[in-house]
A and B are shown apart, each in its own frame.
Chain A
């Protein structure tokens, strides 16, 4: 029966080519618009570390107080004092303070120009915490953290550039005029969005090139390559700034279980209370821990453009569906006499339902194919609307192709329910009269 209905559907579609074309175009455009924008939304709202996203927490401590914080919400970064205190307390399974550093790598070959790198100053815990894969070697030890060691972990791309891809563990590189010993080379690792620092990046910037110890960076008085926010004048010089309430560091902890998170939050609460008692905070403890996805959401990593265009595209699809309901209604009711005769010849309501829903599915299939074509064009064209860094994340992969077809067919069949119900209400008759 399915094949018969499918055949009937195709024939009926050929009978009113204009009406059919209108429907196919409406569905095609609607599906393409929503799928294109969805491809961007999917990329930007991606979970970059699904295996651990609920075990990693960004820490916030309100060191500015109710007058300067954002409607009660603690700032998104910590100052040096709090970062170091939390590192020293060592209350989580693993923890790291981190901040971006913009170092220039100076190739040993004097004919080559220095080039700029995207680096982060971190603690050795960061490598196992963030599940970074190593091609050669590994991270550095806590002893090296404590010793402000001049060590570095470089990305594969940097290793390829400086060492032609050879195992460079133990060799040295020159960053901003200082030498660092390579302890490890990362395999390809480029989480999108860059979950551990959405504060200083859009989340979709170029991949991280290298990591150096936080303690070493501070010793060399490297200021942050990201945002530095002060609620009051920090005073003159490096030391005054370092020990001010200016905030510029991110702090992450790993807490494998619910109990661990609770314990850590209690610790933070206690720490803030202690600061209040010591007279540094003049307000009640105000701390937060947010896991990866919460944090990305809180930092609005999904660009407003992406949300608005997804929203508009959904509205667009809805209109296309309303349009389709109308056109299907017209198409089906035009065949009321035929339906009457079919009913008289013994077709049950159920069979009328089957016939017309399958016909609608055929329209949906055609619309889906058109939609696929247009989605391809759309994905190709998203760089028009979005930052190229984000646009390149939108791809027409197998799952998007499947989703496009599924949405097209499902949406059309859904749209066909009312027209089909109306068609099934036609009484059996030999009537071939109008009116």
Chain B
């Protein structure tokens, strides 16, 4: 540790090798930091709960054929009756959308009906009194809808509902003092208000893209069945009977009315499939970044081993001289470890700056979040340890060089 100055002096004579290793460490740090950060963000996202009990849950997406939009309401009602009476089915609900479906309806929420800008966004789930038990969403205040509150409305004329159930996230945003229950909110500019009659702990919006990050927990449930040729059914099976319901439900629907389309892809899915498909690219991205990190670290380590081995090979003679002049094996080992540490420190200083720069650029281009310094620090530690680990084998080989090498002329 006393030898930093002479090591620096010696490194100055081997600029190319030093710069190459430092550069490699710097670039690796920059990429690994950002990749780890991307992994963490994606994992964070895909481990978000929907607020529903996802086991024993499935979804069917249905579209009517050759039936006027206004005439679909009784058909949907019939479908729901069929589904609820199927053996193995616990409950079922018809809705315009559901968490992670991908498409849905969003509106701005206001406290003042004429305010130009809404306070926040919310998604609207058009459901009935069976929604909460079917979804398994937890009501933490107020009450569920009553069957007599449920009405059918044409989406073209929809404006609002007298009563709504909202999520805690939305309630806290609009009423930060926690007094949402019983209050009035406006979900359409200039339309009548809605009374908050219940609050659920959590219910995610249908979207999982970046644009929905700001309101991913803001959902509003309305006791309204929309007419129209599309509807989605959420079905909760009795425990363990999902597999049989998965087959029985679409068969029963077709038996009742064949003028419908249930797409072969994504028409009938367990909720586990819905989740898997929604987060496919997030998971893939995390895996890809993971692979890249591992391979990158391996390549950098291999590079350090390669170059250090070469240096040791080139310096056998001077190692022998040092040994002859009284250096212990430990002195030689620590010489190479210190040398690598110095190069590593140079590399990580540049690398940390590159990492932050790269993140800033990604933020600008892809709406990425700001890199937390924890990742840079973690990356710095990982790379310095990696360097020390990689240099250990060649350094030990150097320590084994016999002092008698000093007397050999070649």
Q: Do chains A and B touch in the complex (CB under 8 A)?
A: yes
The chain A residues found within 8 Å of chain B, CB to CB, are 19, 22, 25-26, 29-30, 33, 67, 102, 104, 106, 113-116, 174, 176-178, 223, 232-233, 236-238, 241, 303-305, 307-309, 312-313, 315-316, 318-320, 322-323, 325-327, 329-331, 333-334, 384-387, 418, 422, 432-435
Closest 7 CB pairs of A and B: A177-B66, A330-B310, A385-B284, A104-B65, A323-B303, A326-B20, A236-B157
Residues of B within 8 A of A387 (CB): 280-281
Q: Is B285 located at the chain interface by the 8 A CB criterion?
A: yes
Asked if A116 contacts B63 (CB within 8 A), the reply is yes
Asked if B30 contacts A305 (CB within 8 A), the reply is no
Q: Which residue of B lies closest to A29 (CB)?
A: B295
Q: Chain A nearest CB: distance from B36 CB in Å? A: 12
Asked if B24 contacts A104 (CB within 8 A), the reply is no
Asked if A26 contacts B302 (CB within 8 A), the reply is yes
Can you list 13 A-B contacts (CB < 8 A)?
Answer: A30-B299, A33-B292, A104-B64, A113-B258, A178-B66, A236-B157, A307-B365, A308-B362, A331-B310, A333-B310, A334-B313, A384-B284, A434-B410
Residues of B within 8 A of A19 (CB): 306
Asked if A176 contacts B299 (CB within 8 A), the reply is no
Q: Is B327 located at the chain interface by the 8 A CB criterion?
A: no
Q: Chain B nearest CB: distance from A206 CB in Å? A: 9
The chain B residues found within 8 Å of chain A, CB to CB, are 16-17, 20-21, 23-24, 27-28, 30-31, 34-35, 38, 63-67, 116, 156-157, 159, 188-191, 229, 254, 258-261, 263, 280-281, 284-285, 287-289, 292, 295-296, 299-300, 302-303, 306-307, 309-311, 313-314, 316-318, 362, 365-366, 409-410
Q: Chain B nearest CB: distance from A52 CB in Å? A: 30
Asked if B295 contacts A315 (CB within 8 A), the reply is no
Residues of B within 8 A of A432 (CB): 410
Asked if B190 contacts A233 (CB within 8 A), the reply is yes
Q: Chain B nearest CB: distance from A408 CB in Å? A: 15
Q: Chain A nearest CB: distance from B284 CB in Å? A: 3
Asked if B303 contacts A327 (CB within 8 A), the reply is yes
Residues of A within 8 A of B188 (CB): 233
> By CB atoms of chain A within 10 A, which of B27, B35, B67, B159 has the most?
B27
Residues of B within 8 A of A115 (CB): 261
Asked if A312 contacts B289 (CB within 8 A), the reply is yes
Residues of A within 8 A of B16 (CB): 329, 418, 422
Number of A-B pairs whose CB atoms are under 8 Å? 154
Asked if B314 contacts A233 (CB within 8 A), the reply is no
Residues of B within 8 A of A232 (CB): 189
A328 to B20, CA, bound (A): 11
Residues of B within 8 A of A329 (CB): 16-17, 20, 307, 310
Query: Quick one: given A104-B66, A330-B307, A385-B285, are A319 and B27 in contact (CB under 8 Å)?
Result: yes
Partner of A236, one of B156, B292, B300, B314: B156
Query: Quick one: given A113-B258, A307-B365, A387-B280, are A106 and B66 in contact (CB under 8 Å)?
Result: yes
Query: Quick one: given A327-B303, A334-B314, are A309 and B156 in contact (CB under 8 Å)?
Result: no
A304 to B300, CA, bound (A): 27
Q: Which residue of B lies closest to A110 (CB)?
A: B258
Residues of A within 8 A of B295 (CB): 29, 33, 316
Residues of B within 8 A of A434 (CB): 314, 316-317, 410
Asked if B306 contacts A435 (CB within 8 A), the reply is no
Residues of A within 8 A of B366 (CB): 304, 307-308
Query: Quick one: given A104-B65, A316-B296, A323-B302, are A114 and B24 in contact (CB under 8 Å)?
Result: no
A241 to B154, CA, bound (A): 13
A320 to B64, CA, bound (A): 56
Asked if A315 contacts B30 (CB within 8 A), the reply is yes
Q: Chain A nearest CB: distance from B19 CB in Å? A: 9
